[in-house]
Structures are given as C-alpha cells and as structure tokens.
Amino acid sequence: MNEQERNDLQSTITHALEEMKAEAGASFDLEKVNLSELQRRTGISRKRLRKIKEDGFVVKPHKLSGITKAKTVLTGFTGIIDNLLSKGVKNSSVIKEQLDDAGYKGGITRVKDYIKAHLDLLPAKRHLVSPQGNRGRRYTTDPGVCYQMDWGFVNVETDVDTSYRASCFAMICHHCGERFTEYFPNAKQENLFIGMIHAFERMGVPKYILTDNMKSVVKERDSEGHPIWNNEYANFMKAVGFETKLCKPRHPFTKGAVLSEVFYYPHIFRKVRCCAGHVLKMCG
C-alpha cells in the first residue's frame, strides 16, 4: 500500500468515526467502537479494523514497507538492464529478450518495475548516447539457423487489359541471402503452408523461422508477452520440425530491410510471369 492509499483509507475511517461519535454523543468511547457497524460504514473487514484499532485507528505502513530482498530473480542481471538504459533502450520486451539470452528466468513485470525505478539512467534528450551499432546492416545468422518469411501483394495484368490482386509469399535465408517466392490468389493459412513447404524443399528446413505477428501464425500474446500460437500453425511446426520467432515491431534491423530486397527491387522483380503466364507488376 502506497502513501496515497493509506491517506485515503485513513480519511474513510476518520469520517466514519466522526459520524458514529456525532450519533452517540457523550457516550461515545473510541475503545468500545462497534467494529461491525464500522465495517458496514467503511466496507473494511473486521479483521483489518481490529488491527487498525490496536494502533489507535491510525493507518500505519506495513512493518516491511520499504525493505527489499537482498537477492531477487533479477540479481546478477541488473547490469545488463543498466547498460541498455544508458544506451537509451527502455523497451521492456527488447530488454527481456536480452535477459532471456543471458539465462533470466523471471517474468516481464519485474523487468518493467526495475526500468521504472531506474529511468534516471536514460541519457538526457538532445545528448549524445552510447553507439548502438550499425542498424542498417544485414541481419545474419549461421548456416541453417534462420529464414525470414512474409507476404507481399502485387497487381496482375491479364491479356485482356484487366488486372487483379495476388499475394506473393517470400522466404529468405539469413546466412547466404538465397530467396524463394511464390504467388497465390490470397494469403490464407493453407497457402502459407504450401509456400513454406515448397521453400523448404528448395532451401532445407531451418532451426527457426522469423516472421511478424500474422494471424495465421500467432493468435495473441499472454500477460508476459509470450506468443500463443495458432493451433494449426503449432501442429505444422511440430510436424515439420522447426521453431518460430516473432519480429520486434518497428525494428527494421530484423524486419523489413531484408524482405524489401525480395518485394521492392524493381530491376529484379518489377516484371515476372506467374504460372498462368500473366505479367506481374509490383504495387506502387
């Protein structure tokens, strides 16, 4: 209970006691206050009122208030958080991923509380911050570790001067840059699975896939930020034998910059032909 909550509780009890004193008159005795009546007026349990009565109806802070444990689940990991905060990184999800890689076993709530209590470590605005590395370089991994996949959309021009919109599935290797594309009438989950299987046949099955938060992959995230997989996609991962990681939102180092090579390089992909022989032109 913080100071504001204690003040509110004290005000409620004091107001109820004053009402009871005004009604009882000279016979009012603070030591003989009817706790059942006081409970009815305040909504506070008799057990708690009994403890407050022992303190003279003064709401006091808990005896352990302000005392922190000498060792917590964050012990040994605070240096990592302090270093990231000094570089201007305060996103709790990003920081927790760094901690998880270092062996952290706790939840994200404790990380958020620590960040909130140490915001003074963030660099002042308009001041130089510690270098965070080149954010424009290609995101790379070891061979067979990671592929990235996504959907793009193209306009298809037919031979009768009409056009329609098609979906382009793309997958790229984060080691050598090999890429696979396939066109579908839509971006439904069954077409996603077909495109992935065809890409795996050509490139092999990686350790994990990097993708965004598309509904055919993940339904939502739990209170700790962990993904809750789409049931069909979870079964597909288990059957094929790979894992999936989700890209960080608004983080072009791992998402966007790589697949732009597949979707938006006009001299390579501006005009290609689909299986029906129609000319495909990139949107925009």
DSSP state of 72: -
Cβ pair 208, 146 in contact under 8 A: yes
Q: Measure CA 255 to chain center.
A: 15
233 burial (CB, 10 Å; 0-12 / 13-18 / 19+) is: buried
Strand bridging mode 208-211 / 146-157: parallel
The per-residue pLDDT for 178 is: 86
DSSP calls for 166-190: EEEEEEEETTT--EEEEEESS--HH
Produce one character per residue of 235-258: b if its CB has 16 or more CB atoms within 10 Å, e if not: ebbeeeebebebbeeeeebbbeeb
Say what the alpha-carbon torsion angle 3, 4, 8, 11 is, to the nearest 10 degrees: 60
pTM for this prediction: 0.47
The per-residue pLDDT for 144 is: 87
Domain ranges of the chain: 3-54, 146-282
Produce one character per residue of 185-216: b if its CB has 16 or more CB atoms within 10 Å, e if not: eebeeebbeebbeebbeebeebeebbbbebeb
Per-residue pLDDT of the chain (284 residues; tens, 9 = 90+): 677 888 888 999 999 999 998 988 888 888 888 999 999 999 999 898 998 888 888 888 766 555 566 678 888 899 999 999 998 899 999 999 999 999 998 899 989 999 999 998 888 776 555 655 555 556 678 888 999 999 988 888 878 888 888 889 999 888 888 889 998 999 999 999 999 999 999 999 999 999 988 899 999 888 777 889 999 999 999 999 999 998 876 565 555 444 555 554 433 333 333 333 333 333 33
Which CATH fold would you assign to the domain 146-282? Nucleotidyltransferase; domain 5 (3.30.420)
